[in-house]
Amino acid sequence: MSLLPLKHSAAPIRFGTDGWRGVLGVDVTAATVVQVASAAAQELAAAAPAALDSREVLIGFDRRFLAPELAELAAAAVQGCNLLPLLANEPTPTPTMSWSVRQRRALGALVVTASHNPPEWLGLKIKGPFGGSVDSAFTRRVERRLQAGSVVPPGRGPISRFDAWTPYLAGLSQLVDCRMLAQRLKHMGLQVLVDSMHGAAAGGLRRLLGPSTGEIRHDRDPLFGGHGPEPTAANLWDLTRRIKAARILEKTVVGLAFDGDGDRLAAVDETGAFCSTQQLIPLLIDHLGREESRPGVVVKTVSGSDLMTIVAEDRGRRVVETPVGFKYIAAVMRQEAVLLGGEESGGVGFGCHLPERDGLLAALLVLEALVAAEQPLAQCLAALQQRSGLQLHYDRLDLHLGDLAARNRLLAVLEQQLPQTVAGEPVTEVNHRDGIKLRLGRSRGHWLMLRFSGTEPLLRLYCEAPTMEQAQASLAWAEAFVQGL
């Protein structure tokens, strides 16, 4: 097998919390995609379980600029490794590819996507034969292959394509009675409006629940309207506007939004208020945890709301806390029975499904929780917080840094100069599990967390507090503290 010399880019290729990503045309080029796909495919083959008799590697892609073309190059790279690439015949959500890996008993999947990152970014996610993201040990081995130049020339033969959407949606319909769900929503007078953010999940919920499900931004736009396809409050202004307008007309509408590759979920309730997964995950824990027939612990990341823990304990479920990144949740899901695992940034996975976050399944189960309670979203969330006896408010702020060198300098300073108080509240506990998490005062549910992004030169500031004013004050204090260093 002849080797293709590796042309090093300005910086070594490094994997973040879920895959390799960078700026298209700078970090992510035709050459680097071939290199990463080749190294990843070789590692999938080398690490395959002994009982897995397959040469298939599935290739998926989202709706970003050049994603379909680079997916074809990735497929050719897999073919060059004497493996059998199968290329999706259209853009698909990332969890669709994970599900297809399990269904087809393939070696794994490579997904050309940059998830929620800005429009100029692209990258590649690696999914293992178990149907989820590979772990850090796997990606380190891929990095070593890249450093050693272990890349083979791409193949030149025809690439087979396959339909990933149809069997995946059939699989979701076996987990949730979509026909019943649509009928119950209609009976409640609760309309569903989906904001696909021009991403790969477009059309999915409508195909599951029927044409009465409305959808906006379902067309392909590689610029995503001028911002990253991340379902945050600021990016969902049109969905919010439409729901508020419907309320004036005395219509009850719940909004659901997916990120660029369909593995994250956020919502807008019937009043037009944004609902992150910090609120949706406790609702899902409460709904699914009622059923004793559903086994398993609850897994949350260190940046997850304390309400997740409170509701899980109320339902008699043990809580496992992990660093940020769904691959850490997935590792727990592969080792023991899990009810659900969720992260602050919008990803939720379910033990009945895959060790993988899935925005479409999470959306179906949120709607199932609403029809079970016979209440719209805002009322359900208010009732849940009332039962818990704790009103919590969450906010997040991202600070852009000059470059990764600035990130490293700031990290060194933060590790040496931890504050004793934050916005007048004493620091009562310090957690270094992932970044720096400071518990404040004596009240449960009051904390501030500083964590660097794994894919961008960003410092992420997270805060939860008994009031929104306290949360915003803590974030303002943190921003001033960082800028003053």
The half-sphere exposure of 6 on its side-chain side, counting CA atoms within 13 A, is 22
Give Cβ neighbours of residue 339 (< 8 Å, ≥ 6 apart): 285, 288, 289, 294, 295, 296, 297, 298, 317, 350, 351
> Domains (ranges, CATH) in the chain?
20-167 (3.40.120.10), 176-388 (3.40.120.10), 393-483 (3.30.310.50)
Whole-angstrom Cα Rg for the chain: 22
List, in sequence order, every residue forming a beta bridge with 299; answer none if it has no partner. Answer: 320, 341
* Model pLDDT, residue 2: 38
- Strands 265-268 and 447-452 turn out to be unpaired
Q: Nearest-CA neighbor of 16 among 309, 325, 307?
A: 325
Contact 340, 284 (CB under 8 A): yes
Contact 240, 272 (CB under 8 A): yes
CA 286/CA 81 separation, integer angstroms: 47
Whole-structure pTM value: 0.92
The half-sphere exposure of 42 on its side-chain side, counting CA atoms within 13 A, is 22
- Strands 425-431 and 160-162 turn out to be unpaired
Contact 421, 275 (CB under 8 A): no
List, in sequence order, every residue forming a beta bridge with 221; answer none if it has no partner. Answer: none
Structure tokens at 366: 């949120």
* Model pLDDT, residue 485: 67
DSSP H helix total and E strand total for the chain: 15, 21
CA 93/CA 111 separation, integer angstroms: 9
CA 41/CA 55 separation, integer angstroms: 10
- For the stretch 355-391, pLDDT in tens is 999 999 999 999 999 999 999 999 999 999 999 888 8
* Model pLDDT, residue 5: 39
Beta-strand ranges (E) seen in 28-115 are 56-61, 84-88, 108-112
DSSP state of 117: S
Which burial class, exposed, middle or buried, applies to 454 when counting CB atoms under 10 A from its CB (0-12, 13-18, 19+)?
middle
Q: Nearest-CA neighbor of 130 among 359, 332, 320?
A: 332
Q: What share of the chain is helix, strand, coil (3-state, %, to 5)?
A: 40, 25, 40
**Residues with pLDDT less than 70, the chain:** 1-10, 404, 454-456, 485
